[in-house]
Amino acid sequence: MFVLVTNNEEKIKEVELVLKGSGIKFEVLRAEKPELRSDDPCEIVKVAAKTFCEKIRKPVVVEDSGLFIDALKGFPGTCTAYAFKRIGNRGILKLMKGVKKGVKNRRCWYKSAIGYCEPGKEPVCFLGGEEGKIAGKEKGKNGWGQDPIFIPKGKSRTYGELRKQGDVNLFRKIAIDKLKSYIEGR
């Protein structure tokens, strides 16, 4: 049993889907996590997980994800949610204007970092990632965040076009599966 700290309904649904049938239970604490400024997503979630764990004295899980674009030197990275609120996907596409449409030039990574901490212990991080490229324009209405501009490697359509109700993004599933293996192996 752990406490998932988030205000994001989509993240709650994705964690439920991946853990379904595993016997691992969790409850949700709707709260904003402290946003440490760092380029390392694991550092951010470990600090947040430890902070909440010390407050509530229960095992805690905190997830943070970001879009890291090679042509923009990793931007928006760990500031993805902030950038989305300020400039949206159109702003990111505007920053990409002039970057050739080839896969190599528009390569990016979606990363999900999950911090887990138990009372009296140091936090650990589970990282999931998925390579892709940035589309030339927003496509599709499904998913959320940068899904309409992220084309997963090996695909020709964005997550915004591909996602269906109940899908879990691969990068987050990888991180949740690592958490699940860790908890089951204890």
pLDDT in tens, 9-19: 888 999 999 99
For position 163, what pLDDT does the model report? 84
Per-residue pLDDT reduced to its tens digit, 105-129: 899 999 999 999 999 999 999 999 9
Task: State the burial class of residue 89 (Cβ atoms within 10 Å of its Cβ: 0-12, 13-18, 19+).
Answer: buried
User: Can you give the pLDDT at residue 57?
Assistant: 97
pLDDT at 154: 94
Q: Give residue 103's pLDDT.
A: 60
- Per DSSP, the three-state class of 90 is helix
Total domains, the chain: 1
Confidence (pLDDT) at 26:
96
Q: What is the pLDDT of residues 127-178, one digit of tens each?
A: 999 999 999 999 998 888 899 999 999 999 999 999 887 778 899 999 999 9
Please state, for a pLDDT cut of 70, what percent of the chain lies above it: 98
DSSP conformational letter for 33: P
The predicted-structure confidence for 58-80, as pLDDT tens digits, reads as follows: 999 999 999 999 999 999 999 99
Is the peptide bond prior to 76 cis by the omega test (within 30 degrees of 0)?
yes
Catalytic entry in 40, 64, 70, 147: 64
Average pLDDT, the chain: 92
What pTM was computed for the model? Answer: 0.90
Those residues with Cβ within 8 angstroms of residue 12's Cβ, 6 or more apart along the chain or in another chain: 4, 6, 28
Which residues form the domain of 63? 2-184
Q: What is the mean pLDDT of residues 88-106?
A: 87
Question: Is 64 one of the annotated active-site residues of the chain?
Answer: yes
CATH of the domain at 105: 3.90.950.10
What is residue 3's three-state secondary structure?
strand
- Name the residue type at position 11: K
